[in-house]
Amino acid sequence: MPELIELSAGDLHRKLMAGDVTARQIVERYLDRIEQIDGRVGAFNTVTAEAALDKAADIDDRLDKGEAVGPLAGVPIALKDNLCTRGVPTTCSSRILEHFVPPYDATVVERLQRADAVLIGKTNLDEFAMGSTTEASAFATTANPWDLSRVPGGSSGGSAAAVAAGLAPLALGSDTGGSIRQPAAFCGVTGLKPTYGRVSRYGLIAYASSLDQIGTFSRDPRDAALLLEVIAGHDPRDSTSAQEPVPDYSAELEKDVAGVKVGLPREYLAEGIAPDVEAAVRAAADTCRGLGAEVIDISLPHTEYAVATYYIIGTAEASSNLARFDGIHYGRRAAGKMDVDELYSRSRSEGLGDEVKRRIMLGTFALSAGYYDAYYLKALKVRRLIKKDFDDALAGVDCILAPVAPTVAYKQGEMIDDPLALYLADIYTSATNLAGLPAIAFNAGTGEGGLPVGVQLMGRPFEESGLLRLAHAFREATDHHLARPNLTED
């Protein structure tokens, strides 16, 4: 039998159903690997070993009795630590929520429970999902499994690293300006950011409500399809979740890609892109041609405004979303006796990190009287133009092939004092969130230092199927996915 940690989520589930392995064996193997390796990677904030073993026992028990189990039965999954889990600390990697234990489950968590997935732990992130290195976590730095001196990307760095290091076959993250795709690219795994509204945000601790979307990490597109099938669909508790039916992504995956039109946006391959990344994108375009796709040069003219627009809208929403962390109702409260204004000020000063404070101040400014029209309202208008760029382009092509980040993974500490440079590196990902489109990032080769280089496919709203299909065909046609980080167990 091949190593359990080498198996895809789908294969693990099939082995379980065939009686080749028990849920307990799977979970124990993963817990053991976390024990052996996570000291070096630092992907997890919390490992829920006991609950995972209980769940595994329950699944095995039901299988013994011949009872039905869900489509993800026995498959361990890690959750970004901004997804609410009843009874399990949900910290957003922030001091202010260090001891916060939600009394309820996020909708995605409920759906995973119902599908009999096994929640194995909560993963590290940049505090409140604000960042792209996971260095802005208040608790720990997560290492890139391919090179432990490098960052895994962010903000869903813990989830990406967990999947890359074989600590979980599946993970969930959230993507507001690239927070799934960029770490997926840095860690050489598959990261899917679904269409805005495809997956309920209920229970996702908001950074920027109009941009946030929960998505998946997996080793391959097939597992992404399997996981998306479970978590997608309308939720009456989230008014922004769509009423669109959920297709059978796994079945759709197998269809032919010949004749698919792939757009290559010239603005994404202009100044600022590292040669290894550009080479990977062009090679991916060649692979697509080889698969029978037609690659077409396209333009997304407002690309240069995406980062500024994203940081105005994102921080404006964040300044309001994060107001509730005030030390009054829950979470960290400053010690001592003081009046309420000082209590707010001290609790927030002590409980929130620099990057979070920076974005709250930016957003507060953008919404202030006298600046609202010049910043926030202007940004909303540009957002419409960016959306129109994509609408126009996607009228002529089925999907868009693009880089994910301008470079491969940074060295730890390399970018920590240059927030603006980090913001600018969101150039290829943030426009997708502004337009609400689906996108999938996956490993497309090796770049500088033997590090993975990712590319992404963006598509029309609710056409995740097409993206998964082309990403799957790409994987079948290449062998980038065979590379593994060199992490030996003790």
Partner 1 sequence: MQYETVIGLETHAQFHTRSKMFCGCKTDFGAPPNTQTCPVCQGLPGTLPVVNRTAVELGLRAALALRCHIAPVTQFDRKNYFYPDLPKNYQVSQNYHNLGVDGRLEIEVDGQTRKVGIWNVHLEEDAGKLEHPEDTGANYTAIDLNRAGTPLLEIVSAPDMRSADEANAYMNELAAILRHLGISDCKMQEGSLRFEAGISVRAVGGEEFGNRVEVKNLNSMSAVVKAIEHERHRQVAVLESGGTVPSQTMLWDVQREVTEPMRSKEEAKDYRYFPEPDLVPIEISPEWLDQVREQMSELPAVRRKRFIAELDLPPYDAGVIVEQKPIADYFEQTVEQGVEPKTAANWMMGEVMRVLNERQCEIDDLPVSPPMLAELIGLVTDDRISNSVGKTVFSEMCSSGKKAGEIVEEKGLAQISDSGELEAVVKQVLADHPDAVADLESGKQQAKGFLIGQIMRATRGKANPKLAGELIDRLTGD
| Nearest Cα residue to 191 out of 178, 205, 207, 210 | 178
Options 184-192, 263-271, 313-321, 462-470: segment touching partner 1 (CB under 8 A): 313-321
Q: Is 320 in the site for partner 1 (CB under 8 A)?
A: yes
Q: Is 337 in the site for partner 1 (CB under 8 A)?
A: yes
Options 59-67, 153-161, 311-319, 444-452: segment touching partner 1 (CB under 8 A): 311-319
Tell me, what amino acid is at 186?
Answer: F
Q: Is 319 in the site for partner 1 (CB under 8 A)?
A: yes
Options 144-152, 245-253, 364-372, 465-473: segment touching partner 1 (CB under 8 A): 364-372
Q: Is 344 in the site for partner 1 (CB under 8 A)?
A: yes
* Least spacing, CB of residue 305 vs partner 1, in Å: 20
Q: Is 210 in the site for partner 1 (CB under 8 A)?
A: yes
- What are φ and ψ of residue 68, in 5° steps? -75, 145
403 forms bridges with which residues in the sheet? 455
One residue of 11, 71, 100, 141 binding partner 1 per CB under 8 A:
100
**Which parts of 222-241 interact with partner 1 (CB under 8 A)?**
236-240
Whole-Å CA distances, 188 to 27, 184, 357, 458: 24, 6, 31, 18
One residue of 138, 160, 204, 382 binding partner 1 per CB under 8 A:
204
One residue of 251, 270, 338, 340 binding partner 1 per CB under 8 A:
340
DSSP structural state of residue 213: E
Q: Which two tokens stand for residue 18?
A: 């065939």
Give CA 388 to chain center in angstroms: 25
Angstrom distance (rounded) from CA 287 to CA 330: 52
Nearer to partner 1, 376 or 462 (CB): 376
> Within 13 Å of residue 455, how many CA atoms lie on the same side as its CB?
32
* Least spacing, CB of residue 104 vs partner 1, in Å: 5
85 forms bridges with which residues in the sheet? 88
* Least spacing, CB of residue 19 vs partner 1, in Å: 38
* Least spacing, CB of residue 203 vs partner 1, in Å: 4
One residue of 47, 52, 97, 397 binding partner 1 per CB under 8 A:
97
Question: Which is catalytic among the residues 93, 137, 155, 430?
Answer: 155
Query: Can 80 be counted among the known catalytic residues?
Result: yes
Q: Is 317 in the site for partner 1 (CB under 8 A)?
A: yes
Q: Is 36 in the site for partner 1 (CB under 8 A)?
A: no
Spatial contact of 81 and 91, defined as CB atoms under 8 Å apart: yes
Spatial contact of 97 and 90, defined as CB atoms under 8 Å apart: yes
Nearer to partner 1, 16 or 366 (CB): 366
Q: What is the DSSP string of 12-74?
A: HHHHHHHTSS-HHHHHHHHHHHHHHHHHHH--EEEE-HHHHHHHHHHHHHHHHTT----TTTT
Q: Is 214 in the site for partner 1 (CB under 8 A)?
A: no
One residue of 4, 7, 52, 208 binding partner 1 per CB under 8 A:
208
Query: Can 210 be counted among the known catalytic residues?
Result: no
One residue of 323, 338, 420, 421 binding partner 1 per CB under 8 A:
323
Query: Can 93 be counted among the known catalytic residues?
Result: no
Question: Which is catalytic among the residues 15, 55, 80, 193?
Answer: 80
Burial 3-39 (b: 16+ CB within 10 A, else e): ebbebbbbbbbebbeeeebbbbbbbbbbbebbeebbe
**Which parts of 53-82 interact with partner 1 (CB under 8 A)?**
82
H or E element at residue 281: helix 275-290
Q: How many residues bind partner 1 (CB under 8 A)?
A: 46
One residue of 18, 329, 335, 336 binding partner 1 per CB under 8 A:
329
Question: Which is catalytic among the residues 179, 250, 319, 465?
Answer: 179
Spatial contact of 213 and 175, defined as CB atoms under 8 Å apart: yes
* Least spacing, CB of residue 81 vs partner 1, in Å: 12
Q: Is 336 in the site for partner 1 (CB under 8 A)?
A: no
Sheet containing 44-47: give its strands across.
44-47, 118-123, 76-80, 170-175, 213-218, 190-193, 439-446, 452-459, 399-403, 261-265, 294-298
Q: Which residues are catalytic?
A: 80, 155, 179
Residues lying near partner 1 in the complex (CB under 8 A): 82-84, 90, 92, 97, 100, 102-104, 106, 201-206, 208-210, 236-240, 316-317, 319-320, 323-326, 328-330, 337, 340-341, 344, 364, 367-369, 372, 376
